[in-house]
Every structure is written in structure tokens, then in C-alpha cells.
Amino acid sequence: MTLPTVHLGTTDMEITRVGFGAWAAGGSWEYGWGPQNDEESITAIRHAVEEGVNWIDTAAVYGLGHSEEIVAQALKGIADRPYVFTKCGMIWDDDGEISRVARPETIRREVEASLRRLKVERIDLYQVHQTPDDDTPVEMYWETMAELKQEGKVRAIGLSNHSALRLEKAEQVAHVDSLQPPFSLIDRTCAPEIDWCARNGAGVIVYSPMQSGLLTGAFSRQRVDSLPEDDWRRRSPDFTGGLDANLALADALRPVAERHGVSQAAVAVAWTLAWPGVTGAIVGARRPDQVDGWLPAASLELTPEDLGEIAAAVERTGAGRGPEHP
Ligand SMILES: NC(=O)c1ccc[n+]([C@@H]2O[C@H](COP(=O)([O-])OP(=O)(O)OC[C@H]3O[C@@H](n4cnc5c(N)ncnc54)[C@H](OP(=O)(O)O)[C@@H]3O)[C@@H](O)[C@H]2O)c1
């Protein structure tokens, strides 16, 4: 199937408006999603690609390398492979203890490990996952990222979870090809960073557009209470505090979804794509049928009436944080 595409910032990549998010494919680790079957992850990724999704987002740290290996297995034998985006900057020791480190030597080690696990000749978008725990200046690690691009190890470079101030500093060193911020109807706090990208020719691929499942209509207080012990969402403030308001907001998406003949999940994702400056949304799925649920967002255009109705629901429920309208 051919899905509409848009340029990722000023890069030469034309991406579909939804990409497959492979966090859950990492399986069991500190930030795992409860039991996850590798075969189902692989089938879900392949299904998304067969349906026309042309990029996958993963990270070295997801399952401590496991997600990247699963992505490689899923893409094996696919001639026209999708773009593969991954991240550095979260490293782990022999005990699996994770720290946020982005120094020239760690990034260089990480890129080689990711290339090996992903079995690709070049990473299409390489992103710094988080700001480091120490005071390593962004200018220092961004210089290394720019070198990797010049050397052809990566095609484009991006930042994730970085403030507009840090984006500005990075831009003085080399162009920021894209930003990966959290963004959903519940978490709208990165609107200033998205605006910075729009003004500076950087692409924006937003993450957790369905607030990690909360906006899909598949959640209830009972389901939250019965999440497996090893599902990170049990510890997430969005699934604990303010849950009633968040579920009420998810409910308010149902009439919009019914009008368009799509799922609430698709409406939640389409809402992020309607925000000025957003290039694409990274959407997670644990099984192929979940891909079918959100895929219509790739071409769904919400009307001004839909957006007005959703904005009214945000105000009425008081759910989430950040500006309500662009
Ligand atoms: N840069 C960063 O720091 C960062 C942080 C977070 C995420 N990300 C990226 O963004 C991607 C997406 O974020 P995310 O996975 O947190 O959130 P998301 O896309 O908002 O939600 C994905 C989850 O929603 C549920 N779901 C998916 N499709 C569904 C459907 N059709 N109906 C009902 N439920 C459905 C699944 O979990 P259940 O079935 O278990 O409910 C799935 O794992 C990640 O995979 C990752 O690549 C990056």
C-alpha cells in the first residue's frame, strides 16, 4: 500500500506520517512492557512495512540491544527496506545498570554496536536519546554526531528529549535534522520545541502519540490496576495520578473516531499530526492487529470541527499538560 509521505526536515528522506515504534520489542528489562513475544514483535513490524510504513524507530537501550536485534530479524529478506532510526546516549554496564552518557568515545562505540545489531550499512537517523546525566555540553556530543554523518555511518542526525535552548546550541555546531519529543493529547509540553523546529527547518517525529496506550480506548482503571508487575506503565504518573481525566479524554475521541470510521487510537495519532510543525508520529504496536488500529492515522485529516471538539474535551476534562491549541 502507498501511504502519503513528507520530507523529514531538510533531509533527503520522505517518510510516511506514521512510523513503527519498537520500544516494546525490547522485551523484558527495567522499562519493559510485561511479557512480549519476539515472534509477535517481528510479525507486527513486518505487517507495518507491508502496509506501507517506511520507517522504524528503535534505540540501543530498548531491551539492552534486544529491540535492535528484533528489528534486524524483521527486516531480513525485505529488499526495499524501510528507514531505520535508532538512538545512542543511554548505556548500560554488565549488571544492566543504565546511565545517560553522550561523550565522543561512547557515541563512537555505540554506533558500531548498533550497526552490528541492526545489520545495516548505515543508520538512517541517529539520535541522542536524552540529555546526559553529567555536564557534557551538547556542543561536544553534537560535534561527534556531525562527524558520523560526514563519515557516512549515519545519514541524518537528531536529538530526543532536548530543550529549545539545547537545540539552539546544537544548531550552532551543525544542523539539527530532527527532534524526537514526547507529544500527545495528554503531554503537550514540547510545543515550544516543535515550534523551534518549524522555524529552523528541523523535522519532528513525536513519540508516545497515544500516551503509551492510554488514549486508545483500550484502558480502564481495572486494566491499569491489573497491569503486570514488569510493565513500566504501573510506575508512570499518567497511569496513576490524573487517570480519570485521561480516560475521560480518551472517551471523548470515540464520536470523532465513529464519524471517520476509524479507531480512537487513529484519532489520537492524527491529532498529533495535525499540530503545525509535526512531521511524523512514532507509534508502538505489540501485535499486527494493533498496527491495523492506528494505521489509518497515516492519511486521516481531522477537520476544524473535529479539532474544536477535541480541544473542548481537553478543557472539559482538564486532562494533561501544555497548551491546548497551536
Ligand atoms: N525518545 C524517547 O525517549 C522515547 C520515549 C518513548 C517512546 N519512544 C518511541 O516512540 C514509540 C511509541 O511510543 P510508545 O510505544 O510509548 O507509545 P504509543 O505509540 O503511544 O503506544 C503504544 C502502545 O499502545 C498499545 N496499542 C498500540 N496499538 C493499539 C491499538 N490499535 N489499540 C489499542 N492499544 C494499542 C500497545 O500497548 P498495550 O497493548 O500493552 O496497551 C502499544 O505498545 C516507541 O516505541 C519508541 O520508539 C521514544
Tens of pLDDT, residues 92-113: 999 999 999 999 999 999 999 9
Return d(Cα 279, Cα 210) in angstroms, integer: 16
Element housing 144 (H / E):
helix 138-151
Q: How much is the mean pLDDT over the chain? A: 97
Residue 274 CA to residue 297 CA, distance in Å, equals: 10
- Cβ–ligand 1 contact at 290 (below 6 Å): yes
Q: Residue 212 C-alpha to ligand 1 middle, in angstroms?
A: 4
Q: Closest by alpha carbon to 45, among 273, 290, 210, 230?
A: 290
Name the amino acid, one letter, at 147: E
Q: Does the C-beta of 41 come closer than 6 Å to ligand 1? A: no
For ligand 1, the distance from its centroid to the CA atom of residue 123, given in whole angstroms, is 22
CA dist 246 and 238 (Å) reads 8
Mean pLDDT in residue range 30-50: 97
User: How far, in Å, CA of 279 to CA of 205, rounded?
Assistant: 6
Is residue 11 within 6 Å of ligand 1 at its C-beta? no
The bridge status of strand 90-92 relative to strand 98-100 is antiparallel
Does ligand 1 lie within 6 Å of residue 183's CB atom? no
Domain spans, the chain: 13-212+261-302
Cell numbers standing for residue 27: 522485551
- pLDDT for 1 equals 77
* Position 324 confidence tier, pLDDT thresholds 50, 70, 90: confident
| Averaged pLDDT, 194-215 | 98
CA distance 126 to 145: 8
Whether the CB-CB separation of 160 and 170 falls below 8 Å is answered with no
User: Who's near 26: CB < 8 A, 6+ residues apart?
Assistant: 32, 36, 61, 62, 63, 64, 66, 67, 70
| Band (325; pLDDT cuts 50, 70, 90) | low
Provide the pLDDT for residue 322. Answer: 84
CATH architecture of the domain covering 13-212+261-302: Alpha-Beta Barrel (3.20)
Q: Is 141 a catalytic residue?
A: no
Selection from 144, 147, 146, 156 nearest residue 83 by Cα? 156
Q: Residue 326's pLDDT is what?
A: 59
Ligand 1 centroid, distance to 183 Cα (angstroms) = 12
Structure confidence by residue, pLDDT tens digits, 260-299: 999 999 999 999 999 999 999 999 999 999 999 999 999 9
pLDDT, residue 323, reads 80
Residue 287 grid cell: 501485535
Q: How far is the CA of 43 from the centre of ligand 1 (A)?
A: 16
Q: Give the mean pLDDT of 29-41.
A: 97
Tell me which of 62, 83, 126, 207 is the catalytic residue. Answer: 62
Q: Which three cell numbers stand for residue 43?
A: 510479525
The DSSP letter of residue 190 is T
